[in-house]
Chain A
Amino acid sequence: MRNLILISIFLFSLYGCSLLLFEKNNNLHKISIPNKHIDTYFNNIDSSYIYKTEINFFKKYYSGISVFKPLGDSCTQVVFLTELGIKIFDFEIKNPLKFKKFYKVNYIIDPLNKKFIIKKICNDYGYLIQNAGVKYLTAFTNDSNTFLQFNQKLKKYYYIFFQNEKNYNSIKVNSAFKTKIDISFYGINKIVPDSIFLNHNGIKLTYKFLKIN
């Protein structure tokens, strides 16, 4: 029991240090700005959003088309197809920040029908469509960016905005010890981004989304 308490204190201290390190590395200082919600780019239920998608997982490469269809109530249907039109998966993903059971599988092709694969994909697509609906906890700034931060369990999300921009250009998902996921949005001056890059640090898994008009 004593050891458990010591380990917890040690981990908690490490977590705090890692956050301080992140703030120091990015030359951040806290600021006070009016509260606001952070919304996904894919939030218009009258629209659907279509992206050419390339996924690199270790030495495997998958390509196809992702369709994002907001269904309302912070739920988005995500369908991934091959270029030949064969459906690979069809999920309904709710805001992972708000719902414990945040995804429903409508269909997944047999070779991929494994719980850990489904969860990984839903998590990753979930980062793009999470409608935070949660007010940020802390705001930081440095010379070029504003960082809005909120937490989910041990994960810390940083939504990063260029100064004077109303749309975020990247999301960082930090664990207790390091940045686990980097998501970059390009062409954000339009209604939705022209392209999105999602990169896992630590495992060789990347997603590239290119908007199809």
Chain B
Amino acid sequence: MTINFKKLIYLVIFLHFSSFCISQNDLKTMSEPDLFKSKLKEFSATTKSIESTFIQNKNLSILAKPLISKGVFYYKKDKKVRWEYTEPFKYLIIINDTKIFIKDKSNSKQYDTQSNKMFQELNNFLIGCITGELLNNNKDFSISFKENSKLYNVELVPKNIKMSKMLTKIVINFNKNDLSVDELKMYEQNNDNTVINFYNKKLNTTVADEKFNFN
């Protein structure tokens, strides 16, 4: 009986991992990327808010285990974003149009993205991922589209040398059911990467404006 039970556990673990592998590896070139883009545009137009928890895994070649951060993410139309890290320590980033507010235990500071090119690029990138605008940016990225039964997979390779020194590739996985972002992966040179997974997503719920206040 014990042996059977053990076998069952091994089988469950095997199936779990094989389904994970399939979900990541059976990607094929997207048959109709224009249709996907128009669906995403519609999603972006009709989505007034997103609320989600997230887990961020930072994989560094020098670390045996990833650095794990957790938190809550909010998006509200138009161009309002709140990244609230709760673990391993509290850290808050609020984007409200062209302004960015950063707060931790010791300090808080406000930046204007229009006077800081780096923050401007970060702002455009984050908002572009959420709204899908990034997928039309053929000027700055070589973009390829793939899919499987569960997700749309978009890979962006920066054309700009400066950006490619920082990120060699960005991969965004969109959920096929509701077109929200399930996973965001950012690859650096030497294959270090950051993977952010979004969970418990709530679309178009009421998100208070106070969430985006700078205080």
- Where the two chains meet, the residues of A that have a C-beta atom closer than 8 Å to any C-beta of B are 48, 50, 52, 54, 61, 63, 65, 67, 69, 77, 79, 81, 83-87, 106-107, 109-111, 208, 210, 212-213
- 28 inter-chain pairs at a CB distance below 8 angstroms, sorted by A residue, are A48-B62, A48-B63, A48-B64, A52-B88, A52-B89, A54-B104, A54-B106, A61-B109, A67-B60, A69-B62, A69-B63, A79-B60, A79-B62, A83-B93, A83-B104, A84-B56, A85-B67, A85-B69, A85-B186, A86-B166, A86-B194, A87-B166, A106-B190, A107-B189, A109-B166, A208-B106, A212-B88, A213-B88
Q: How far is the CA of A156 from the CA of B147 in the complex (A)?
A: 62
Task: Determine whether the beta carbon of B107 is less than 8 Å from that of A111.
Answer: no
Kindly report which residue of chain B lies nearest to residue A106, judged by CB atoms. B190
**B91 contacts the other chain (CB 8 A):** yes
Task: Determine whether the beta carbon of B93 is less than 8 Å from that of A84.
Answer: yes
When distances are taken between beta carbons in the complex, the residues of chain B under 8 Å from A79 are 60, 62
When distances are taken between beta carbons in the complex, the residues of chain B under 8 Å from A81 are 58, 67
**B212 contacts the other chain (CB 8 A):** no
Residue in A61, A65, A111, A212 whose CB lies within 8 Å of B118: A111
Interface SS majority for chain B: mixed
Task: Determine whether the beta carbon of B107 is less than 8 Å from that of A61.
Answer: yes
Task: Determine whether the beta carbon of B188 is less than 8 Å from that of A87.
Answer: yes
Task: Determine whether the beta carbon of A77 is less than 8 Å from that of B93.
Answer: no
Q: How far is the CA of A165 from the CA of B75 in the complex (A)?
A: 52
A23 to chain B, nearest CB (A): 36
Number of residues from B at the complex interface, CB < 8 A: 29
Residue in A54, A67, A86 whose CB lies within 8 Å of B62: A67
Q: How far is the CA of A61 from the CA of B105 in the complex (A)?
A: 13
Q: How far is the CA of A65 from the CA of B58 in the complex (A)?
A: 11
B167 to chain A, nearest CB (A): 8
**B85 contacts the other chain (CB 8 A):** yes
Kindly report which residue of chain B lies nearest to residue A208, judged by CB atoms. B106
When distances are taken between beta carbons in the complex, the residues of chain B under 8 Å from A48 are 62-64
When distances are taken between beta carbons in the complex, the residues of chain A under 8 Å from B83 are 84
CB contacts under 8 Å to A, within B139-195, are: 162, 165-166, 186, 188-190, 192, 194
When distances are taken between beta carbons in the complex, the residues of chain A under 8 Å from B165 are 107, 110
When distances are taken between beta carbons in the complex, the residues of chain B under 8 Å from A111 are 118
Q: How far is the CA of A48 from the CA of B109 in the complex (A)?
A: 31
